[in-house]
Structure 1
Amino acid sequence: MERTPTMRKLVVSTFLTLDGVMQAPGGPSEDEENGFAHGGWMVNYWDDQVAAAMDDLMGKPFDLVLGRKTYDIFASYWPHASEEEGAGPLNRAVKYVASRGRPTLSWDKSVLIEGDVAEGVAALKQQDGPELQVHGSADLIQTLLRHNLVDEFRLLVFPVVLGSGKRLFADGTLPAGMKLVQSTVSSNGAVIGKYEPAGEVVIGEFGQD
């Protein structure tokens, strides 16, 4: 989908390992699906530059688009952590939730995306309102990628390799070029980059003398 100037931007913000794993960066019990045993892999790399990148992302009005698992993780914590940094923006945001069922959404300002998720998110982008941000939500992101709904990637890549786990760009991701528009490296080695889709992959070949 080509974004017009009046559409809401949809931004995917993700913590990643060097081999592209995004599963359970924040704690051992965050997401143990498929026997994932490395939850919390990102915590010891947090530093001032990573914190500043997150402050920049969340320092302006935004709404959230979340998969059901990430929503449940956030909803079990942030409404009860109002004194923590970052809690205010998350609690104030409207939370649009993608789910195959009809869950009870107890977190204030939570809205279930009805019907087809891709169509629902596309409709949200057409509405007036602040930027739409996706945090976590590995399965949902695959749907957004397949339907070309992501306008920007904020990727924080940490110097660790896990070998297995849910990946941001999973099998079946459509080939696409990316443009790096901003980057920095944190004191603990995290590469913080902002990327925008840049059309099709351009194929070339090195010539021979």
Structure 2
Amino acid sequence: MRRLKIIEHVSLDGVVQHSVDGDDFPYPNWNVPFRTPEGRDAVLAMHGERFDLLLGRRTYDLWARFWPTVPANPMADRLNAATKFVATHRPETLHWGPAEPLGPDVAEGVRRVKADDGPDLVLCGSSTLTSTLLEQGLADEVVLIVYPVVLGTGKRFVAEGTPARSLELAETQTTPSGVVLTRYQLAGPLTAA
């Protein structure tokens, strides 16, 4: 059975949005000033040598316009080679491949993909899908790449109303620019003390 890892680049106040994405988000590419070679290597290690992607439709479309045009490098090569499992109502338009639609019931589609043989799954950037996966208990691990910035506006890591969950710290690293990478294992529903 495949494991599912959520990896998100996030501000201290929980914002994961990086692009204008059709609204008035005032801070596109806010994480760029904090990028370092050490951070790149740490993010690559968190993804793993080989993985498939689980993406929402907006993230798929944004990445499909960008990653195939990037010169060869370890991250671009891994993302372009990965099978992309996409939450979409327009499967006929999945041109950045290999790609497969999850089907009309996203949670059931993810369960099916997790049950198949193959590399682990990585979800990045799809904030709506993140909440669904946590609510359904489908995520196995969460990696937060936390930047030393407060944005005050934008899409958050999880949606309001996402059920409470308990996580166990598995690993933490810090880059020279102050970015903290923290890996957690999902431990189940939060129990009140």
TM-score, scaled relative to structure 1: 0.87
State the partner residue of 2:115: 126
State the partner residue of 2:81: 92
Deviation at 1:163, TM superposition (A): 1.0
Which SS does the other structure have where 1:196 is aligned? strand
State the partner residue of 1:75: 64
Aligned CA-pair RMSD: 1.5
- Residues 59, 143 of structure 1: alpha-carbon distance in 2 compared, 3 angstrom cutoff: closer
TM-score, scaled relative to structure 2: 0.94
CA distance in 2, matches of 1:59, 1:177: 24
2:127 to 106, 128, 138: 138
2:168 to 160, 179, 186: 179
CA deviations on 1:130-153 (whole Å, 9 max, x unpaired) are: 000011011111211221111001
Gaps of 5+ in 2: none
Q: Are residue 8 (structure 1) and residue 2 (structure 2) matched? A: yes
Deviation at 1:169, TM superposition (A): 2.0
> How many residues are treated as equivalent by the alignment?
193
Moved more, 81-90 or 9-18: 81-90
Q: Percent identity?
A: 38
- Residues 85, 130 of structure 1: alpha-carbon distance in 2 compared, 3 angstrom cutoff: closer
CA deviations on 1:6-56 (whole Å, 9 max, x unpaired) are: x100000100000000001xxxxx333442111111110112332121221
Q: Are residue 19 (structure 1) and residue 13 (structure 2) matched? A: yes
Matches within 5 A, 1:27-66: 30-66=19-55
Which SS does the other structure have where 1:145 is aligned? helix
Asked whether the equivalents of residues 55 and 123 of structure 2 are also in contact (C-alpha less than 8 Å), the reply is yes
Letter of the 2:27 counterpart: H
Letter of the 2:10 counterpart: L
Asked whether the equivalents of residues 128 and 158 of structure 2 are also in contact (C-alpha less than 8 Å), the reply is no
CA distance in 2, matches of 1:48, 1:55: 11
> Which structure shows the bigger proportion of residues in helix conformation?
2
State the partner residue of 1:191: 180
Gaps of 5+ in 1: 1-6, 25-29, 205-209
2:147 to 147, 158, 165: 158
Kindly name which structure, 1 or 2, has the bigger radius of gyration based on alpha carbons: 1
